[in-house]
Structure formats: structure tokens, C-alpha cells
Amino acid sequence: MFSGTIPAAASPADGVQYLELRNALAARIAAGEWRPGDRLPSERALQVSGQAARGTIREGLAQLEAEGLIYRKDRSGWYVSPAPIVYDPTRWEGFISYVEAQGRAPATETLDAMAIAADAFLAGVFGREAGAPLNLIRRRRYVDDRPVLVEYIVVDVALAPDLLRFSFDQSLTGILKSHYGLAVTRNKVEMQPCALTGREAEALGIKPGLPGLNVVRTSYDAQGRVVEFDREYWRHDAVKISVEARVR
């Protein structure tokens, strides 16, 4: 009744068909009938065995998806979710190292990298005037070949001139430190559960509206300058946040 680290499932009998399907599938997943990455039977196959309309089947599957136990690949099928990555956004280590430290295979892909001018919001973030030159980098990151997040990074051109000549498929952290001497000493992190829509859903290859986690990080150096402003959109089933901090 109170143990483990993950919320308990619904009770076995709910008097509701789609929850009973959900429970049946969850039990079979827990029993190891399918392993992470495996495909579930098709919706129409589940209809036959479960004797329900397809809409009802889909509601049960959507339930498991919301819980992060399964995910869908568009027009391909429903798959069992792998374990989430544990992520501490207050650490300045970089995606690659902590994913590897958890025995998983990270990958990074740069989608865009361009010069932009600060709008009112970004001007405020960086403490510059509107129109100040900034660089915007958009990346997609993978764990074990599955896209798990898309991120938008903004860097002040004044602090890192000519940044766009680099490749960002590796660690941006390393570039900022070794080529520009920029060391982060303080982070401000905001997180909010959200829905992944529009460009983010498209970049992750998912159906718009799937739950996600929006992480916004502002990184400062010892002089209080904003080194990096980073907005990440994570698949909700791919990440688990862990933060350790002294009480202030």
C-alpha cells in the first residue's frame, strides 16, 4: 500500500472495460511477457481477444501511454517503454555523460543553428537590448536510438563570438568551456509538465498532445552573466528528474 518508487496501478477490477484492458496489459508487461521495445498485439487483435470496440481498446492503450508504460510509433504499433533516464538539471555535466553513466547510448543531432536577434523576452533573459545578436541552436537527442527530447539553446554572441563554426553534435558544454572559457557556476531551472505539440511533436515523431516535460534552464557564470539559455522538451516517459540541494 505504500512502497516502491513508482505509483501503484489501478485496482484489478474497475467495472470499466478500458481500465480492465489497461490492467490486463499492465500485468502482462509486468510479468515480462513483453520486454522494453517489444511491440504489443495490434488493436484489432486485442479487439478479438478482448471482445470490445476498437475505440475502447484505444482508450485502454492511451491510458497506459499516459502512464508512460507504453508508447506508440505512428502507424506502426504500440511498444513497451524502456526505463527512464535519471536527470539532474542542476548539474552541469551534459546529456552525453549522464546517459552513458546509466549504461545507455546517447546521440545528438543538430537540427538548426542560426543567428537571431533578441526579442523582448530574450533581451530580458540576457540583460541586453532588444535586437542584440544571439545564436540559436536546435538539437534532437536520443537514448538508444529513440528520440527523447528536442532542445532550443540560446547563447549570447558577445560571450561566444563565431560559435556557429562549431559542430554541435558533441558537447556544447565542452565548446563553451574550452574555446571561450565560460564556466557555469549557477543554474536556474524551471520544469513544467506540458503537452508536446506542433514543432516539438513533429521533431520527436509523436502524436501532438502527448504529455511531455518542459525544462527551462538559465546558466550563469561567476560574474552573473547568462552563459546559456536552454529550453528542453522531453518525452514524459523518458525522464525522471532528480535534484539534490541544500536548504536555503
Quote the least distance from Cβ 6 to a second copy, whole Å: 8
Within 153-182, the residues that bind a second copy by CB under 8 A are: 154
CB neighbour list of residue 44: distance below 8 Å, 6 or more residues apart: 54
24 forms part of the interface with a second copy (CB under 8 A): no
Closest CA to 70 of 103, 21, 108: 21
72 forms part of the interface with DNA (CB under 7 A): yes
**What would the x/- binding string for a second copy be over residues 81 to 120, using CB under 8 A?**
---x----xxxx-----------------------x--xx
**What would the x/- binding string for DNA be over residues 199 to 228, using CB under 7 A?**
--------x---------------------
- CB-side neighbour CA atoms (13 Å) of 51: 0
236 forms part of the interface with a second copy (CB under 8 A): yes
3 state DSSP class of 48: helix
CA–CA separation, 136 and 248 (whole Å): 34
3 state DSSP class of 24: helix
C-alpha cell at 159: 560571450
Please choose which of DNA, a second copy, none residue 75 contacts, taking the beta carbon within 5 to 8 angstroms, the exact cut-off set by kind: DNA
SS3 annotation, 189-204: EEEEEEEECHHHHHHH
The residues binding a second copy (CB under 8 A) are: 2-11, 14, 19, 55, 62-63, 66-68, 84, 89-92, 116, 119-122, 136, 152, 154, 184-200, 208-214, 216, 233, 236-237, 239-248
